[in-house]
Amino acid sequence: MRVRALALRILNQLRHDRRTLALMLLAPVFLLTLVYFILADTTPVINIAVVNAPAGFEDKLEEYNVRGQRYSKNEARLALERGEIIASIKIVGGKSFIEVDGSNPTKAKTALAALEQAKIDVFISRPDLRSEITYLYGKEDLPTFDNFGATLIGFIIFFFVFLVSGISFLQERTSGTLEKLLSTPIRRWEIVVGYVLGFGVFTILQAFLISWYCVYVLKVMMIGSFGLILLITLLTAIIALTLGILMSTLANNEFQMIQFIPLIIVPQIFFCGLFDLPADIEVIGNVMPLYYIADALTEVMIRGSGLGAIAWDLSIILVCSVLFMVLNTLLLKKYRRI
């Protein structure tokens, strides 16, 4: 089958091209590590007051590198004000009430993540009950920080796949192989689908590596399902790939492909929810793929949402990908009408 042959060829090309391989796999890991060290101060000890919780809850917290100790309600409030502890938790009837010191977002985030995890471990049957979180000093909404890890994963995958697939399709054109390909009975849509499949398979590997690294090595706050993260990152790769191929038809050489970065990539960083924007400007984000990707990743990683909560985001990404593929197929008419 021609689609399969094309997909295999792309995988072969990637296999031979060590530099691109490294760019796709190691550069994201390097970048993520860098950002991690810039943003996360080396969290020393994080103390949490356990006011009311089932037995064994502190042990669970210990597993997530947080020290939990029993406090009375008043002691806990006092300790929180003095900065001795970062959070306190009270679990009543399966519902948790958490007070957290938001002035140190990194610690607060780690504490919250640990609490959520420990809560899940202890109350296997009640994941439906959301914790009620009260921030004491910080603001409750800390978009820059809480969303950063999740958004960064989406952005990095989008960026590298966009660039590599775009340039790869461009080279198909400039090297004359596209013309040779079009002298065969291959159909235009088969070329597009072959590309999506080839890069798609590769990006499964990339998405897995990046997500795994973030969640299990860097321990980015993550309370949702790892499978869902993989699904989102895969769709991210597909939309980046189809958009990359689409833009490459407008470029005449590699450098012109690079010129799309400030036009296509950078604006998406501003509008993907990382920054607090005035509402009337923020709506621009609605037309940017990364906005939906970031939203879906944030939902899953920080709020622990399921498929239902991100279905809308995912369908938009999917619909856009299909749209781009159709456009690509039509644009190939420029090179051969049939």
Partner 1 sequence: MRKTIIKQRKVMENNPGIDNSKCIIVRNVNKFFGSKHVLKEINWEIPHGRIYGLLGPSGCGKTTMVKIIAGILEATSGETYVLGQKMPKLSIMNKIGYMAQSDALYGSLTAKENLHFFGAIYGMSKAEIKNRTEEVMELVNLSADLYKPVQAFSGGMKRRLSLAMAIMHNPPVLVLDEPTVGIDPLLRKNIWEELDKLAKQGVTIIVTTHVMDEADKCHNIAMMRGGRLIAQGTSRELQDKIGVQSIEEAFIYYGGQQDES
Instruction: Enumerate binding residues for partner 1 (CB under 8 A).
Output: 2, 4-6, 8-9, 12-13, 16-17, 175-177, 179-187, 336-338
- DSSP secondary structure of 28-39: HHHHHHHHHHHH
Q: What are phi and psi of 63, to 5 degrees?
A: -65, -25
Of residues 126 and 187, the one with the C-beta less far from partner 1: 187
In angstroms, what is the minimal distance from the CB of 29 to partner 1?
Answer: 23
User: Is 202:11 a contact under the CB 8 Å cutoff?
Assistant: yes
Of residues 185 and 278, the one with the C-beta less far from partner 1: 185
Of residues 6 and 320, the one with the C-beta less far from partner 1: 6
In angstroms, what is the minimal distance from the CB of 234 to partner 1?
Answer: 25
Structure tokens belonging to residue 45: 């000890």
- AA letter at 261: I
In angstroms, what is the minimal distance from the CB of 335 to partner 1?
Answer: 8
Of residues 142 and 186, the one with the C-beta less far from partner 1: 186
- Alpha-carbon distance values, 178 to 67, 106, 169 (Å): 61, 50, 9
β-pairing, 67-70 vs 47-52, is parallel
Residue 52's DSSP bridge partners are 90
Distance in angstroms (rounded) separating the CA atoms of residues 286 and 290 = 9
User: Is 335:178 a contact under the CB 8 Å cutoff?
Assistant: yes
Q: Is 135 strand, coil or helix?
A: strand
Of residues 13 and 305, the one with the C-beta less far from partner 1: 13
Of residues 70 and 333, the one with the C-beta less far from partner 1: 333
In angstroms, what is the minimal distance from the CB of 21 to partner 1?
Answer: 11
Q: Name the one residue in this structure whose structure tokens are 């990152």.
A: 233
In angstroms, what is the minimal distance from the CB of 16 to partner 1?
Answer: 4
In angstroms, what is the minimal distance from the CB of 10 to partner 1?
Answer: 10
